[in-house]
Structure 1
């Protein structure tokens, strides 16, 4: 798995500014940028603005909102100078991504109000790629970024978009800019950063299709594992994510989470869902730990945090787990997490945890 770090940001920016510098003598103010309402100049300024904003979020450790600053071009700044600013702000984002700790999360509104360093890198790269496309289209020049870079972005912040076509046309379609022969055009679109759930001693870190593919292939998924990890169940679950992603059925919130120990940043296991809830609001959960992490209550803690979040949703009524009869340790985990045994057969027990009656839920209003 290629690292989605500063090198990838630099790669995207270098390719983009190399092209844009060949057309700085044209009318950037009078030319509309592709399908946008903006001029090519306004679009280039937007690229620089996003790059520096993302760098600021990471460097400033912003947790609740965007930092209250913006970039403004001096009067008389020409197109060539704007391109220089894109290069400079790209370098700032690359540096911020490269120096940010892996566990750092900073504010971004969609969809879970935070993103990690890979998320900010991928969002910055997407802004560079698609808006350079817009400018190139407006000025009548050809532009196509590296396919591998587009695939990197898709597998991290577009986990809901089915691959199958070449990565660049897929990214254009996913951002409402292109057409694919077997898919309707998009009029609205969003990227999707990974979900992170905080527990007492653990962070439940959502696994992207890129990380899942690496785990399936025998890699680390970008995590630092304790000795003996990841366990085989984690790799099997990663394979389920890859299969769903390739089929276009992956729903990011209903995948797998790696359990990262807060004290030292080491990954100790994984848990997650076998898929989205069915029509009755039932969702199956599963989990495993590296052998060296067992006996410390990590699985119970993680399962409790997961249940607390998901059973508060309107679309989830029951979480259930199916456990082999001879797996006493897993039976103890679900029992401590509040699950009740509801059925059995010759080989397995079934356990359930039911959420509160929706009529009894208290909703907080955010004005």
Structure 2
């Protein structure tokens, strides 16, 4: 899998500097930046502010808020000097991304109050690409970043957005800056970093579409697995995630999670949902472990953790698990996690109304 990196931040900033540097003699304060309320100078300075804020939060491992400082321009700084500031703050973010260990997370408010190094890289790239577009549009100059950068931003930060015919027009549409045939205009938008849910011995780390695609194709999804991993159930679930993403119905918080062990940072299994909650507030859970991680209570801990997270939400009333009748170990896992065997009537309803296969047993935990 090609992971988003500090090199991508550097490439995005270089493209920005080339465009803005060529227009440095223009009066940026007199021109509005595209559809924004800001002028081009304010927008360019905003790029630098975001780059250094992301670098500081990641490097400083901020946990509850942004690192409390601001940057200012020296009096008399011209547009060429501001471009240099963007290049410098971009270099700081690229360095912070390159030097951050895997799995490190730091504060970002939306939507789950943290991001990993790839998330900070993607956010920085998004700020650069989108606001360079805004400035270029205001100044009437041409700008189009590489499709690879635009696709990285989409697969890392917009897992809820159905892929379009090309990444850059899709990213512009998804952020209210353009149109796509057959899709309604976007008037409000937010990006989404991946969700992580802490457990006692590991972290449930949300799998992004790019990682899921790699897992489906036989890769490691960007995780370091213990020997024998990932197991086939995780690959199959990742395939379903990719299909949901491509159809535009993926909800990241109800996707797939890798179990990343605290003691060594290695993935030991996968867990997730079969989709978003239905109209009755029901959601189905599934899981598997690499063989070398079995028999140590990891599955029970994972099922309990994810189930309790789901039942704390307003849109979930019931978590279910369907298990083969001969799979006694899995039945014991869900029982230890607080599930109870459904009644015969509930199983009949599950088969008739929800398509549960014969031979499966239904286990239920309600909020």
Partner of 2:352: none
Cα distance in structure 2, aligned partners of 1:218 and 1:296:
26
Partner of 1:50: 50
Partner of 1:347: 359
Cα distance in structure 1, aligned partners of 2:82 and 2:165:
33
Cα distance in structure 2, aligned partners of 1:246 and 1:91:
34
Contact 1:2/1:152 (CA < 8 Å) preserved in 2? no
Deviations 1:150-183 (A, max 9, x none): 1111011100110022100100111111111111
Deviations 1:272-315 (A, max 9, x none): 00000111100000000001111111111011111111111111
Partner of 1:159: 159
- Match of 2:29, SS state, is coil
- Match of 2:215, SS state, is helix
Cα distance in structure 2, aligned partners of 1:274 and 1:67:
38
Q: Structure 2: which 5+ residue stretches go unaligned? A: 348-356
Partner of 2:144: 144
- Match of 2:106, SS state, is coil
Cα distance in structure 1, aligned partners of 2:333 and 2:177:
48
Deviations 1:171-204 (A, max 9, x none): 0111111111111111111000100000000100
Partner of 1:363: none
Partner of 1:213: 213
- Match of 1:242, SS state, is helix
Partner of 2:311: 311
Cα distance in structure 1, aligned partners of 2:330 and 2:338:
13
Quote the offset at 1:57 in angstroms: 0.3
Cα distance in structure 1, aligned partners of 2:172 and 2:2:
21
Cα distance in structure 1, aligned partners of 2:241 and 2:307:
20
Deviations 1:199-243 (A, max 9, x none): 000100001101101111111111000000000000000000100
Partner of 2:351: none
Quote the offset at 1:346 in angstroms: 5.3
Q: How many residues were matched structurally?
A: 355
Cα distance in structure 2, aligned partners of 1:165 and 1:249:
17
- Match of 1:193, SS state, is coil
Partner of 1:25: 25
TM-score (norm 1): 0.95
Partner of 2:62: 62
Deviations 1:35-90 (A, max 9, x none): 11111111000000000000000011100011111111111000001001100000
TM-score (norm 2): 0.95
Partner of 1:88: 88
Cα distance in structure 2, aligned partners of 1:175 and 1:109:
18
- Match of 1:235, SS state, is helix
Deviations 1:234-276 (A, max 9, x none): 0000000100000000011110100000110000000000000
Quote the offset at 1:332 in angstroms: 1.0
- Match of 2:320, SS state, is strand
Cα distance in structure 2, aligned partners of 1:143 and 1:65:
34
- The root-mean-square deviation of aligned C-alpha atoms, in Å, is 1.0
Partner of 2:244: 244
Cα distance in structure 2, aligned partners of 1:104 and 1:97:
10
Partner of 2:14: 14
Partner of 2:350: none
Partner of 1:365: none
Q: Structure 1: which 5+ residue stretches go unaligned? A: 356-367
Alignment of 1:1-367 (within 5 A): 1-342=1-342, 343=344, 347-355=359-367
Quote the offset at 1:3 in angstroms: 1.4
Cα distance in structure 2, aligned partners of 1:71 and 1:189:
27
Contact 1:281/1:316 (CA < 8 Å) preserved in 2? yes
